[in-house]
């Protein structure tokens, strides 16, 4: 039987009071954390796969089982698409969602490291999808959310048209507020479509929850 998704359980009612302070801190510092060996290896494998590619490059970050990665690749036949997720269990389930097209690659890596390496390598994205990132909805978890973490400056440097979706409207509002602190504009709106693009999207819609979307030209 299909498990229904629980709605967001949060003790945060509006924008986090420390959002501005935390975003500014990360915009002005560079992380010195050591890179994980498996993420470095995944990055090198992605670089080999790209083989000097100079055309359109799309990331599907937090791709989970990679259902969205294959759909994005199919919709962008002239682009190379890389789906990245830290969960080997999810990546290993991709075969059930695979599409017969050779313009995408799935890798298991920690995005904190993978984005950092891509920036060091001066990769520039044409599009960047972050679909249903973990929301970390407790107020104390603010710095686990991508826009309030040390990874945020790297998301900005990778550029491209950023699309974020979440079932938690406050995540989308805070993401837009963080972009504003970085002097970037974002559009936010409810998101609906005929067909879900990811397992989480499907699960949320089946349990009656709605999706919210952020689009920003970085
Ligand atoms: C809620 S799931 C959404 C998965 C997929 N986008 C979907 O909609 O079905 C969030 C995903 O983000 C991944 N994730 C969380 N933190 C990550 C990190 N630091 N690096 C890479 N992936 C991460 C998790 O492994 C998980 O698969």
What does the alpha-carbon distance between residue 184 and residue 167 come to, in Å, rounded to a whole number? 23
Candidate from 59, 61, 62 with most ligand 1 atoms within 8 A of CB, to mutate: 62
Candidate from 71, 84, 85 with most ligand 1 atoms within 8 A of CB, to mutate: 85
Pairing of strands 127-131, 161-166: parallel
With bands split at pLDDT 50, 70 and 90, how would you rate the model's confidence at 79?
very high
Ligand 1 center from residue 150 Cα (angstroms): 17
Pairing of strands 211-217, 161-166: antiparallel
Tens of pLDDT, residue by residue over 118-165, are: 999 999 999 999 999 999 999 999 999 999 999 999 999 999 999 999
**Which residue's C-alpha comes closest to atom 13 of ligand 1?**
62
pLDDT at 12: 84
Mean pLDDT of all residues in 171-190: 98
What does the alpha-carbon distance between residue 72 and residue 82 come to, in Å, rounded to a whole number? 10
Q: Which two tokens stand for residue 8?
A: 């967001």
Mean pLDDT of all residues in 59-88: 98
pLDDT over threshold 80, residue 198? yes
pLDDT over threshold 60, residue 72? yes
Candidate from 64, 72, 151 with most ligand 1 atoms within 8 A of CB, to mutate: 64
**pTM, rounded to two decimals:** 0.97
Ligand 1 center from residue 110 Cα (angstroms): 10
What is the CB < 6 Å shell around ligand 1? 62-64, 84-87, 90, 110-112, 131-134, 198-201
CA distances from 91 to 124, 141, 185 (A): 24, 25, 33
Q: Is the dihedral of CA 21, 27, 30, 36 positive or negative?
A: positive
202 Cβ contact partners less than 8 Å away, ≥ 6 residues apart: 196
pLDDT over threshold 70, residue 1? no
- DSSP letters for 100-146: S-SSEEEEE--HHHHHHHHHHTT---SEEEEES-----SGGGGGGSG
pLDDT over threshold 80, residue 176? yes
- Note whether 2 and 204 are within 8 A (CB): no
pLDDT at 3: 55
Residues β-bridged to residue 131: 165
- Note whether 46 and 107 are within 8 A (CB): yes
CATH topology of domain 36-217: Rossmann fold (3.40.50)
What does the alpha-carbon distance between residue 115 and residue 136 come to, in Å, rounded to a whole number? 20
Q: Where are the domains of the chain?
A: 36-217
């Amino acid at each position: 039987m299909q498990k229904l998704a629980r709605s967001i359980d949060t003790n945060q009612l509006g924008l986090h009071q420390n959002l501005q302070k935390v975003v500014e801190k990360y915009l002005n510092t560079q992380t010195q954390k050591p890179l994980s060996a498996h993420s470095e290896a995944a990055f090198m494998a992605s670089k080999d796969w790209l083989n000097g590619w100079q055309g359109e490059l799309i990331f599907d970050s937090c791709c989970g089982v990679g259902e969205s990665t294959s759909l994005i690749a199919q919709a962008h036949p002239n682009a190379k698409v890389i789906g990245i997720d830290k969960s080997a269990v999810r990546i290993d389930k991709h075969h059930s969602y695979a599409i017969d097209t050779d313009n995408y690659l799935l890798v298991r890596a920690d995005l904190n490291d993978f984005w950092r390496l891509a920036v060091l390598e001066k990769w520039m994205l044409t599009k960047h999808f972050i679909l249903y990132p973990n929301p970390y909805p407790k107020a104390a978890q603010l710095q686990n959310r991508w826009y309030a973490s040390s990874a945020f400056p790297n998301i900005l440097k990778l550029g491209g048209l950023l699309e974020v979706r979440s079932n938690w409207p406050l995540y989308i509002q805070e993401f837009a507020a963080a972009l504003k602190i970085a002097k970037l504009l974002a559009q936010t709106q409810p998101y609906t479509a005929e067909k879900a693009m990811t397992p989480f999207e499907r699960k949320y819609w089946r349990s009656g929850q709605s999706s919210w979307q952020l689009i920003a030209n970085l």
